[in-house]
Chains A and B, each alone.
Chain A
Amino acid sequence: MEATLPLLILVLPLLMFLFLGLFGKYLSHKWSGIIGTLGMGVTMVIAYYTAYTYFFSGDFVDAAGNRLQYVVFDQQWLSLWGDLSINLGFLLDPISALMLVVVTTISFMVHLYSNGYMRDHHGVYETGFQRFYAFLSLFSFSMLGLVVATNIFQMYIFWELVGASSYLLIGFYYTKPSAVSASKKAFIVTRFADLGFLIGILVLSYCTETFNFMSMTSSSVGEGLYHVDVTSAEGVKTMIESRAGQMFLGGSIMTWALVLIFMGGMGKSAMMPLHIWLPDAMEGPTPVSALIHAATMVVAGVYLVARLFPLFMVNELAGGAALDIVTVVGALTAAYAAIVACTQVDIKRVLAFSTISQIAFMMVSLGVSRGDVGENLGYMASMFHLFTHAMFKALLFLGAGALIHAVSSNDYTAMHGLRKHMPITHITFLIGCLAIAGIIPFSGFFSKDEILASCFGNSMVAYVWMSLVAGLTAFYMFRLYYLIFWWKEHKVHEGHHAPKDQPWTMTLPLIILGVVAIFCGLVPFSEMVTWNGHPHHAHINWTVASVSLAVSIVAIGIATLMYRKENSLPAKMRSLFPRLWQGAHHRFYFDELYMFITHKIIFNSICKPIAWFDRHIIDGTMDAFAAITNKASYAIRGLQSGNAQSYVWVYLLGALVLGGGTVAIIFLFF
């Protein structure tokens, strides 16, 4: 494959960012939107072509039918010393090709959708419209650079770039204090997690003596082609031979490295306890939430674990606990987020917690993915769910955006009974809900079934736990659905229009994503994406599938019973578990806990003394210098008489003393 075409995938969004960022203000709002959308569209087509070539051309498959990793190019970017250098490159393998498709598709839909969303009801564009498109392009560039990274350092660079562009987009309404604090919160929390990531990178590259993914986990089988193979990979060998045995605080060095890297993933993917930024990030414009905080950026953590999955495998075989930690964190987060989602009022918050929960599903799926069980079904299931989730969650978010745009409020209390007014939004939203609930034949059914099947194959506890969470998922999604579209509609006040479907720029992405959300479960994923490229024929495990289907349908039934019409059941349920409900409504006080830790403990006991030291000792020293200088100069200012001749006198005396003294010394002693 020529290197130019894949390169364009990165270059086009970057150029769009520069163009719209620098010259956007000279363009009209309309044209900057059109240009941004077209640029993303072209990128999407190229990405599709690239992914198609990768999967179906047959050039990237070895004789045994394994899919190979292909390095399109890999340029040295920063030479440190010795052999140590950092490259920037483009790696095509099953998961990066998959992510190229996901990112560009969602990004294009969001670009298109924003043309309609970023206006008010009269069609007037919002201020900063060009800036918005510039930031969207920057984000797309960063995310694409992340997924095609050939080495962990490149990944880290783009990782930070997506964090930065996420910060910019959450804080898009920078005059709104809540948006500003949300953007700061997101940035600081993920930065904190990235500290772990960075340390993890250093430890891991110290162990494996490389930054490069291919040298870590693969063996070369030809020009630019690599086969994932942990038994013969250089990095794994180096690590096992030299340093893996070293222990530190009860874990091997390798386990620590992987856990620290996973910490970075926890930050980006909003795993408990670093999830607190994601619900607040909903302060950003809704298309941003769909793109960044539902479909692409937040799955970067999953992608990271998947990218390093062979190392996790090696760790698991060596008796390390890294994968177990991934499982436990994922399982706890999934349940936590699902419970909280049942009690939220803001529809975007519900979707945010749903996102957290679904990403936790993917994490669990990776965590239970073991070499001896079903040919690592979990890895495939995780990537499959990533794919389908991106589609239906983006659909749900864009649908929510349409609702918010129509009623100008985020709360379901302001909606109710919208199904007649907004039929397209209603149908597509329902498709999204059915998909996430896992109803056959919608896409979520297939991916969730694979996840549950891999849990089933691994441990019964995980299986039961995740099945219950899946039931909760169906419950809270349909609760949301009924509260928005059913119930008695609000009266339309005099002089106001009834909410109606939005312009085509907003409904078209909904329809497209709706269709995709129905059918994308039929993609033969297990033959395309597996951890080592070896395809296998998956089949639906009907025992698991029928159980999960039953659970979902029961959950939907309960939701229907409680929320189909306004009745007293929800209130009764609430009074049955008042503590639980209160806790869930307040997100189990995580924010308060963080506030307590930061304000009461860190600020009071660490920052205040430091601030005192800074103000009184350091500043005090400097102030003292200034004061002394000031006093001294005030005292001797009389010397500055302004009379030129007196200066000359002083000069002459000084010259005489110096010259005379020197001459005298020479005369007397030499």
Chain B
Amino acid sequence: MLDLLNNFQLNSLMFLIPSLFMFCCGVYGFLTRRNMIAMLISLELMLNSVDMNFVVFNRFLCPGEMEGMFFTLFAIAIAAAETAVAIAIIINAYRIAKDIDVKDLTKMKF
């Protein structure tokens, strides 16, 4: 046991698997949730896990470079923008339909 602890070293998979788990939670939520805000929350989870992947790859595979970090930085900014617009749309939809259930918002078909 102590040996195991002594030989323990952080490797990239230890971060990538939780991140992947988070991503799949996001997928699950996006597929099953009906409330549009809840869907948006799932979307944020997915986005966040991808951000994390960038950082992890940057740190483990190309240490000393900063591309992954900057990419995450910009992704966060874009996520903020995207959320703002999405919420504006949701609120508008709510105002029109008095509901934000995605099942009921099916106007945009053929």
| A–B Cβ pairs within 8 angstroms, 17 of them | A637-B110, A640-B110, A641-B109, A642-B107, A642-B108, A642-B109, A643-B102, A643-B103, A643-B106, A643-B109, A644-B39, A644-B105, A645-B31, A645-B102, A648-B30, A648-B31, A652-B31
20 more contacts with CB within 8 A, not counting A643-B102, A652-B31, are: A637-B110, A638-B110, A640-B109, A641-B106, A641-B109, A642-B105, A642-B107, A642-B108, A642-B109, A643-B103, A643-B106, A644-B39, A644-B102, A644-B105, A645-B31, A645-B102, A648-B30, A648-B31, A649-B31, A652-B27
Q: What is the bound-complex CA distance between A652 and B27, given in angstroms?
A: 9
Q: What is the bound-complex CA distance between A641 and B39, given in angstroms?
A: 18
Q: What is the bound-complex CA distance between A644 and B42, given in angstroms?
A: 14
B102 contact set on A, CB distance < 8 A: 643-645
Question: Is B106 touching A642 in the complex (CB atoms < 8 A)?
Answer: yes
Task: Identify which of residues 92-110 in chain B touch chain A, using a CB-to-CB cut-off of 8 Å.
Answer: 102-103, 105-110
Q: In chain A, what residue has the closest Cβ to B102?
A: A644
Q: For the complex formed, measure the closest distance between the CB of A490 and the CB atoms of chain B, giving whole angstroms.
A: 77
Binding site of B, secondary structure by majority: helix, strand, loop or mixed? loop
Q: In chain A, what residue has the closest Cβ to B103?
A: A643
Binding site of A, secondary structure by majority: helix, strand, loop or mixed? helix
A638 contact set on B, CB distance < 8 A: 110
Q: What is the bound-complex CA distance between A640 and B31, given in angstroms?
A: 17
Task: Identify which of residues 62-107 in chain B touch chain A, using a CB-to-CB cut-off of 8 Å.
Answer: 102-103, 105-107
Q: For the complex formed, measure the closest distance between the CB of A209 and the CB atoms of chain B, giving whole angstroms.
A: 64
Task: Identify which of residues 621-667 in chain A touch chain B, using a CB-to-CB cut-off of 8 Å.
Answer: 637-638, 640-645, 648-649, 652
A641 contact set on B, CB distance < 8 A: 106, 109
A642 contact set on B, CB distance < 8 A: 105-109
Q: For the complex formed, measure the closest distance between the CB of A655 and the CB atoms of chain B, giving whole angstroms.
A: 10
Q: For the complex formed, measure the closest distance between the CB of A573 and the CB atoms of chain B, giving whole angstroms.
A: 83
Q: What is the bound-complex CA distance between A483 and B110, given in angstroms?
A: 79
Q: For the complex formed, measure the closest distance between the CB of A664 and the CB atoms of chain B, giving whole angstroms.
A: 18
1/0 contact trace for B38-52 toward A, CB 8 Å? Answer: 010000000000000
A645 contact set on B, CB distance < 8 A: 30-31, 102
B30 contact set on A, CB distance < 8 A: 645, 648
Smallest CB-CB A-B distances: 9 pairs: A642-B109, A642-B106, A637-B110, A640-B110, A642-B108, A640-B109, A643-B106, A644-B102, A641-B109
Q: What is the bound-complex CA distance between A648 and B109, given in angstroms?
A: 15
Q: What is the bound-complex CA distance between A649 and B32, given in angstroms?
A: 10
Q: What is the bound-complex CA distance between A347 and B27, given in angstroms?
A: 91
